[in-house]
Amino acid sequence: MSDRPSTGDARRRFSVSRLTLTDFRCYADLRLDIDARPVVLFGDNGAGKTNILEAVSMLVPGRGFRRATLSELARSGGDGRWAVASTVETPTGPVQLGTGFTPPDLPEGSERRQVRVDGETAPNQNVLTDHFSAHWLVPQMDRLFIDGASARRRFLDRLVFAWDPAHSGRITAYEQAARQRLKLLKDNANPDPAWLSALEDGMAPFPGAVLALDGLVESWLADGPALEAEDRFRERLAADRGRDGEQGRTSSGPHRTDLLVRHGAKDEAAERCSTGEQKALLITIILANARVRADEEGGVPVLLLDEVAAHLDEMRRGALFGHLVDLGAQAWLTGTDAALFAGLEGKAQFFSVDHGTVTAT
C-alpha cells in the first residue's frame, strides 16, 4: 500500500483550530478546539447549531450568512457586546483572528464591528480576506434561483472574494459612489457636471465578465475591450442622470447583473428544476469553486453547510461526504440526527449541541 497522502491531505487549506464565542447569540461562553477534518454538529432545532456556523461566517467580511445587524448578534440578557475569536490555519501558517462589537453607548463602542489580526486592531474588516476563506450553503439560499437577482449577485461576490480580496473594496467604492451620485441628482436641480463625472468615473472600473452573467455591462465586455466598455458605461450614466434623479435609483450598472445557472445534463434553467436539483446545483457550484481554488494553490476554503444533509437522499449524501473528504475541506455540517452523517464516521469530528452546551461525542 502506498504511503502517499490522499488528494485532500496534499492540498493546502484553510481551517479553524480554535473557536471562542463570548456573548454571541445563545452562547455566553464557548470554546471549541478542533482539527482540520469536517465538523458535524447535531441536535434539536433551536439548540444553537447554526449560531456556531454563523460565528465562523463572521471571520470574513460582511454580515455573515444571516445578514444580521451587529446588535442582533449579541446574546439576549447581555450588555450588547459580543466577540468571536479564533485560531485559523492558513496555507502560510496560523493566524489569530478576532471580531466583535461594542454598542456606541458603551465605552470605546462604535457603529462598526472591530477586527483584530494577531492581536493588532485592523483598519477595516476587508483585511479578513487576506487570512481566511469560507463559503456557505444555508436554507435561506434554497430560493436562490427563484428570487431576485440581488441574492445571486451576493452569492457570486462571495465566490469572487476568495480569488480576489480587492473585490470587496471595489464593491464598497462602487456602492459609495452610486449613493453619492443619487444624492447629488436628487438634492440639486442643476448639479455640477464635473462633480457627477468624477463620481461616475469611480463607478466605471469593475471586474471582467465571468461564467454566465446577464447584464448590459457584461454584453459590452463580450463585444469589445474593457476600456471601451468603461467608456460606454460612463456615457450611459451621463445619459441616465435625469431619469435616475427622478426615480431615485441607478438604472444601469453591474449592480443589476444577474447570474444565470443551467442544469448541464438537462440543459434546463435552474429556476425550472426541482427543489432537490436546485440544491444539488448549489452544492456543485460550491464544491467546484473549492476544488479549483485548491488546484490553483489558493487553499481549500472552509465550507459551512447548514442543514444540507436533510435535503439529500442517501446516494447524494454519500457523494457529498466523499467529495468533502477527497477535497480535504474542513466542512461544518449541521443536522438534527447524527445518523444522517453516518458516512463520515471516523472521518469527521462529531459534537452534540444542546441549547448552548456543546459536547464532543
Is 348 a member of any domain? Answer: yes
> Is 30 inside any structural domain?
yes
b/e per residue, 282-314, with b = 16+ CB within 10 A?
Answer: bbebbbebbbebbeeebbbbbbbbbbbbebbee
Half-sphere exposure of 202 (CA within 13 A, CB side): 18
Task: Give, for all 361 residues of the chain, the pLDDT tens digit.
Answer: 333 334 444 468 999 999 999 999 999 999 999 999 999 999 999 999 999 999 999 999 989 999 999 999 999 999 999 999 999 999 999 999 999 999 999 988 888 999 999 999 999 998 998 899 999 988 888 888 888 888 888 888 877 766 666 666 677 777 778 877 788 777 776 766 765 676 566 554 322 222 467 888 888 888 888 889 889 988 988 899 889 888 888 888 888 888 888 887 777 888 888 887 888 888 888 888 888 877 776 789 999 999 998 878 888 888 899 989 989 999 999 999 999 999 999 999 999 999 889 999 9
**Rounded to an integer, what distance in angstroms lies between the CA atom of residue 226 and that of residue 204?**
10
Q: Tell me: do 135 and 281 sit in the same domain.
A: yes
Count the domains in the chain.
2
Specify the amino acid at residue 182: L
Cell numbers 488528494: residue: 7
Enter the pTM of the model.
0.77
Closest of 167, 158, 136, 163 to residue 297, by C-alpha:
163
**Is 355 inside a domain boundary?**
yes
136 and 21 in a common domain: yes
Tell me: the pLDDT tens digits for 36-74?
999 999 999 999 999 999 999 999 998 999 999 999 999
Assess whether 170 and 236 both reside in one domain.
yes
84 and 205 share one domain: no
> How far is it, in rounded angstroms, from Cα 312 to Cα 336?
14
What would the grid cell of residue 199 be?
463620481
Total Cβ atoms within 10 A of residue 336: 15
Give Cβ neighbours of residue 159 (< 8 Å, ≥ 6 apart).
135, 285, 289
Residue 153: in which H helix or E strand, if any?
helix 149-163
Domain that holds residue 239: 165-259
* CATH number of domain containing 134: 3.40.50.300
